Structure 1
Amino acid sequence: MPSLQAEFGWSRATVTIPFTVAGLVFAFGMAPAGRIQDLKGPRPLVIASAVLSIVGYGLSAMAQNLPWLVISYGIIMGAAMATGYSAAVAGGLKWFPDMKGSATGILVGGFGAAAAVFGPIAHFAVAEFGWRNAFLILGVVFSSIIGLCSFILVNPPQGWRPAGWDPAKAQGIRKHSPEYTGYEFPFKTMLQTRQFWLMWTQYILILCGGFSIIVHLRPLALDLGFSAAAATGLVAIISLSNLGGRFVLSPLSDVIGRLKSFTIVGSLMTTATVAASIASIYGIPNLLYFSAIVGGTAFGGYLALSPAFTADMWGMKSVGANYGAMFTGWGLASFIGPFLAGLMYDAAASYNYVFFVFAALCVPAVLIALLFVKAAHLKARAMELGLDKCEA
């Protein structure tokens, strides 16, 4: 934030520290938050998110130094995001066992849409009232909205099914995906399956490419002669494509299956990162628009696919904690991708071959989905362990 740089004299790298910490706390807080969701339902988490939001923004508005902001925004607001996100995503999945992909596409799409809606509002508030007052305003608004949601969000009754839905007879998008095992894997048991670690690795590999595009495509655009306004417009294209990918690719997985959809996403990310390197090597600035659209779509699609896939493979009963464990891949990728791209750029003083590295990382990620993750193997393991069958 330029306002923080201006007031405290911090470098751009220093300003990003609280936001980086918030992302890591968000990612690694998802599993414990999800466990609470599985046991107690979403309401305690939503209330906690509302309280943490007003406290985090309020303390951030009074920040006098970097450690203060790391605690108030990085840790407290990161926890607010983890509790709120887990309550919504895991709770939504449990209400829509017949259309998991469509449900998570809308839910995760809403999370992405919030940035598009409230981003301009936040910028306006900072410009008109200063960043401290803007934090206070946002804290009151967000905590009020989240608090109201605590009266609405509940888990469905045990064994609940949508009216008229019989999974044995369902057709089209309402039938279970090919990845549905039909068994409930507790959190610790899921961590003992190789399928989890393969998909967790895929999560990191693909999203490293996505984060490299999100963070470094704008600097590359400036290097290729974009104006500051045009480069910022490129970021907006990534954001809109990210949102579109969530709404399109996740519902598509209800039709063609999750693993085929992951293959599409990995192929799209490979294409986007290759295009970015070609644009840099041959000086083709307009190719960056293609990279922004395709990379943003793949990034958003992957985030929306993952919760539904987790529920299909390891069951609905512990989906909050199980998806939370999977989501730690997002946190690691958010750090590794931009940092690795920055290191390679600093070493070569060029983006020419930076994105080729991320394209190469996407290749094994695609192969994981194509060749190595099989629902039948996981189902056989569940039968060996005598795990409970899913109720829906």
Structure 2
Amino acid sequence: MSNNKTNRWLILFTGIFANLCIGAAYSYSVFRKPLMVLLGATASQVTIPYTLSLALMPISMIIAGKIQDKKGPKLTMFIGGLIYSAGFLLAGYAKNIQFLYISYGILGGLGLGAVYSCTVVNTVKWFPDKRGLAGGLISGGLGGGSVIFAPLGVSLMKTYSPLSTFQIFGGLFIIVISIASFFAVAPPAGYKPEGWTPPVAKAGNTLNVSIDKNWRQMLSDPLFFTAWITLIIAAVSGIMIIGFASSIGQEVVGLTPAAAAIGVSILGVANTLGRPIWGSISDKLGRYNSMIVMFIISAASMFLLSTMASSFSVFVIALIGIGSCYGGFFGLYPAVTGDMFGMKNMGMNWGVMFTAFAPAAIFGPMLAAQVRAINNGDYSLAFMIAGGLSIIGIFLTLFSQSIVRKNKINAMAAEMNSK
């Protein structure tokens, strides 16, 4: 497929389908109770495969990002899809919960990160004129996976076991991701869409100054650690609720499994739509202003969930707020990383930045599980802690914004002095 004839929207479209498949990881909450019964596992034990898959995702993103920056995304995405699908297929043979740690958790997480790195980074490179929107749309596929696979999983488990359902999913994923990988073509260096001219930096306007850093230079920049901690905080609430939405609906609100699955799907829709919506908003409102608004909504939603989640309507309102902001953060952060450290090495840089997902994936679900166990099924303290962290995220975002502005002013001054 020649770059001169490549349709970038086709790359975006097929990448969304691949991300829908790996987004099935977000439907895990509908499997928790059936797996507890089938394998005789505790709630904390059943949480570990989900936590492992998300925690290992950044590791494979770094590896895949480095390979992608040098060799291109096509083969990397294909291999990642094979590993991810194998995780689901092998999970169908689990006789105990420990086998799920290896199959669904380790293999699934490594494949998940490889595919996600290829789809998001490659697509954003194809859309320098619509970076926020493109990042939101492509990552929206990841959030959309639960919209499809949560109710589908519940439906299939009425006829098949949870393990057979894993195998059905794995067979579907290997087909879809393999086809999508064929279209994963990297843009030429310095690619610009036809008819688009990059904005020219003017005196007093630091937003368009380019700063390109490799991962080593990025790690030596204090801005990285501020942004990294901010991303952990941004992810905690969403990961916690995504992993426990079905259980919260049944245990706290008193919903049936089918009604709780509807809540999971609504959460998935919010997660999906939040990515392109907030991405598009950020292209106009600004990355950091958008993040501040998302932290405010996320905090309010967690506090609402901790104090008033006694009806389906309140439960859904909280899920929409949490899901849309969680999706918005991950739709926005690839663009934020590019804005902070440049697009040249974004494959590797975004993988390193995404390591923030690992501690969030461990802390969020395990916090909810432990609080539930200690407080006899009451999750409220976990929700309050997550809401408080979101408030801290507001201040970290403001601090990051000031550092970015200072860095770009310095870069612009150096550029002007060199002329």
Shift of 1:149: 1.9
Aligned-pair distance for 1:187? 0.7
Matched residues in 2 for 1:218 and 1:130: separation? 18
Q: How much has 1:50 moved relative to structure 2? A: 2.9
Q: Is the 8 A contact 2:124 2:135 kept in 1?
A: yes
List gaps (5 residues or longer) in structure 1.
171-176, 387-392
8 Å CA contact retained: 2:47, 2:365: no
Give the 3 Å change call, closer, same or farther, for CA 222–68 of structure 1 in structure 2.
closer
Cα pair 2:233 2:360 within 8 Å, conserved: yes
Q: Deviation per CA, 1:342-367: give whole Å up to 9, x if none.
A: 43454455445443322221122111
What are the residue-to-residue correspondences of 1:202-217 with 2, within 5 Å?
A: 202-215=230-243
Relative to the length of structure 2, the TM-score reads 0.81
Deviations 1:82-107 (A, max 9, x none): 11111100000110011110001110
Match of 2:404 in 1: 375
Instruction: Report the equivalent of 1:390.
Output: none
| Alpha-carbon separation, structure 1, partners of 2:193 and 2:318 | 40
Amino acid at match of 1:298: C
**Residue in structure 2 matched with residue 174 of structure 1 by the alignment:** none
The residue aligned with 1:360 is 388
String of CA shifts for 1:105-133, please: whole Å, max 9, x gaps. 11001122123223333444444344444
Task: Describe the SS at the equivalent of 2:225.
Answer: helix
Residue correspondences, number: 378
Aligned counterpart in structure 1 of residue 94 of structure 2, from 34, 53, 63: 63
Alignment partner, residue 294 of structure 1: 321
1:322 alignment counterpart: 349
Code of the residue aligned with 2:399 in structure 1: it is L
Identity of aligned residues (%): 30
**Alignment partner of 1:264 is 2:296:** no
Structure 2 unaligned regions, length at least 5: 1-30
Task: Output the TM-score relative to the length of structure 1.
Answer: 0.86
CA distance in structure 2 between the aligned counterparts of 1:122 and 1:288, rounded to whole angstroms = 22
The superposition leaves residues 253-300 of structure 1 with CA deviations (integer Å, 9 ceiling, x where unpaired) of: 1111111111111111111122223316xx677433322221111111
Mapping for residues 105-124 of structure 1, pairs under 5 Å: 105-124=136-155
Q: What is the match of residue 5 of structure 2?
A: none
Where does residue 343 of structure 1 map in the other structure?
Answer: 370
| C-alpha distance in 1 between matches for 2:206 and 2:154 | 45
* 1:249 matched to 2:278: yes
Partner of 2:210: 182
Is 1:179–1:309's contact at 8 Å kept on the other side of the alignment?
A: no
CA contact (8 A) 2:124 2:134 kept: yes
Sort the Cα spacing of 1:381 and 1:330 in 2 relative to 1 into closer, same or farther, 3 A: farther
Q: 1:180 to 1:258 in 2, by over 3 A?
A: farther
**CA RMSD of superposed structures (Å):** 2.8
Contact kept, 8 Å, 2:44 with 2:366, in 1: the verdict is no
| 1:32 to 1:382, Cα distance in 2 relative to 1, 3 A | farther
Q: Alpha carbons of 1:210 and 1:74: their partners in 2 closer, same or farther (altered >3 Å)?
A: closer
For 1:165 and 1:343, how far apart are their aligned partners in 2?
Answer: 52
Matching residue of 1:160: 191
How far did 1:179 drift?
5.1
Distance 2:244 2:159 in 1: 30
Please give the secondary structure, in 1, of the residue aligned with 2:320.
Answer: helix
CA–CA separation in structure 2 for the residues paired with 1:121 and 1:179? 44
C-alpha contact 1:26 1:78 (8 A) present in aligned 2: yes
Aligned residue identity for 1:99: K
Among candidates 236, 242, 263, match of residue 234 of structure 1: 263
Structure 1 counterpart SS, 2:182: coil
Looking at structure 2, the residues matched to 53 and 219 of structure 1 have their Cα atoms a distance apart, in angstroms, of: 25
Aligned-partner Cα distance in 2 for 1:304–1:3 = 32
Measure, in 2, the Cα distance between the counterparts of 1:278 and 1:6. Answer: 30
